[in-house]
Amino acid sequence: MGGLFITIEGVEGSGKTTIANILAQWLQEKGLKVNLTSEPGSTFLGSQIREILTKGSERTAWAEAFLFLADRAEHVTKVIKPALERGEIVVCDRYSDSTIAYQAFGLGLNLEQIFELNQIATNGLSPDLTLLLDVPPEIGLARVQKKTVFEERELHFHQRVRWGYLWLAQREPERIKVLDASLNLEIVIAKAKKLVEEALSRWL
């Protein structure tokens, strides 16, 4: 499609947002056109969905899944796909793998159905590279200052999310690269840059 699509995934407090920001700036400094974005909440409708998701508490698991999927459908159509068509590098903080990890593994929704719904919501658009920042949830959660309904969930939920991510990484080792995010930030950044550089050399 022209552009390069990179996603960053991980449990709460894994450092995704920090890494996404640093990578985006580093790519811009190379003179590349970068579109830094995140899920949920990067469209007009998405920002309203995000409010519901992070502030509300009681809801069925499927209602939650469909809200994330609705946010993604908007995001792909209005932000990600147009940027890729313009030949830009899209760096996205969370994407489809989050719904597999959180709603299928975390909440126990049917895995095949979530895969299929992701396929529908994204129109089959899969990232070229996914950096999975892996950290034990006890360490990640301890780093989080501002807690939403997600961080308030029991530790076991977050452990299942982590297993979900690691399962995905085993299933798609070419796309999903696991980084040990319990290490010093500088080390994680260096490893992330190396993986992005490899993706860039295949793309450019």
Least distance in Å: CB of 14 to ligand TYD? 8
* 22, 148 Cβ separation under 8 angstroms: no
Chosen residue from 3, 15, 40, 127 binding ligand TYD by CB under 6 A: 40
What number of chain residues touch ligand TYD (CB under 6 A)?
13
- Shortest CB 194 distance to ligand TYD, Å: 24
79 neighbors 34 (Cβ within 8 angstroms): no
Selected from 99, 131, 133, 140, the binder of ligand TYD by CB under 6 A is 99
CA distance 30 to 150: 36
Shortest Å distance, C-beta 9 to ligand TYD: 9
Residue ranges in 121-180 that form contacts with ligand TYD under rule CB under 6 A: 148, 150
* Pairing status of strand 4-10 against strand 129-134: parallel
Q: List beta partners, residue 33.
A: none
Nearer to ligand TYD, 59 or 200 (CB): 59
DSSP-based three-state secondary structure for 118: helix
Binds ligand TYD (CB under 6 A): choice among 39, 74, 88, 128: 39
Q: Which of 81, 94, 162, 191 binds ligand TYD (CB under 6 A)?
A: 94
Q: Which of residues 73-92 bind ligand TYD (CB under 6 A)?
A: none
Which position among 4, 5, 12, 79 is part of the footprint of ligand TYD (CB under 6 A)?
Answer: 12
Judged by CB under 6 A, does residue 68 bind ligand TYD?
yes
Which string of DSSP letters, residue by residue, matches 139-166?
HHHHH--S--TTTTS-HHHHHHHHHHHH
End-to-end CA distance of the chain: 13
- DSSP symbol at 135: -
Taking the CA atoms of 186, 34, 17 and 177 in sequence, report the sign of the dihedral they define: negative
Stretch that binds ligand TYD, among 29-37, 97-105, 131-139, 162-170 (CB under 6 A): 97-105
Nearest to 67 by CA among 78, 51, 44: 51
Interacting residue ranges for ligand TYD, rule: CB under 6 A = 12, 17, 39-40, 54, 68, 94, 98-99, 102-103, 148, 150
